[in-house]
């Protein structure tokens, strides 16, 4: 028997788009939060969940089936919207989860990119070095949790 049209839809091609949408929502929510808090971002993404600013669906990766984490994405805490470079990452998805070695990242200016390994690891290493050179301490990277 053939399934009715549209009943069986392969979710695999939609997963990268969902991940981009999730991280875009996280980025925009973080920017709105910073606007209300003198340019400062929260200590973690859980703050946004607790305040009802993000939905639980938006913090779960479409590539992560277990849903064992509260939040599937990694967040860079301690950034400042007014003083830090727009090209610094705010949050990202683990490239190992995507199945194709591609990480999805939302940056301080809220643009979203997908970077294939090893470019993602190189970008993250460069960011960490620049952050530490600027601040004198390594960045605080939180999650997933």
Instruction: Answer yes or no: is pLDDT of 14 > 90.
Output: no
Nearest to 109 by CA among 135, 85, 83: 85
Residue 40 burial (10 A CB sphere; 0-12, 13-18, 19+): middle
pTM for the model stands at: 0.88
* pLDDT band, very low/low/confident/very high, at 134 (cuts 50, 70, 90): very high
pLDDT band at 36 (very low <50, low <70, confident <90, very high): very high
> How large is the average pLDDT for residues 58-83?
86
Helix or strand or coil: residue 131?
A: helix
Confidence label for 66 from pLDDT (cuts 50, 70 and 90): low
pLDDT at 110 over 50: yes
């Amino acid at each position: 028997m053939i399934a009715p049209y549209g009943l069986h839809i392969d979710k695999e091609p939609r997963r990268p788009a969902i991940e981009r949408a999730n991280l875009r929502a996280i980025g925009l929510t973080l920017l709105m939060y910073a606007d209300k808090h003198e340019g400062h971002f929260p200590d973690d993404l859980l703050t946004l969940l607790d305040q009802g600013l993000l939905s639980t669906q938006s913090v779960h990766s479409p590539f992560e089936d277990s849903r064992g984490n509260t939040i599937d994405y990694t967040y860079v805490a301690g950034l400042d919207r007014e003083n830090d470079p727009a090209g610094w990452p705010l949050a990202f998805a683990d490239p190992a989860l995507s199945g194709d070695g591609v990480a999805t990242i939302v940056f301080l200016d809220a643009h979203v990119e997908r970077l294939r390994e090893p470019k993602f690891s190189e970008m993250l290493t460069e960011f960490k070095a620049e952050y530490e050179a600027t601040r004198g301490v390594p960045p605080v990277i939180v999650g997933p949790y």
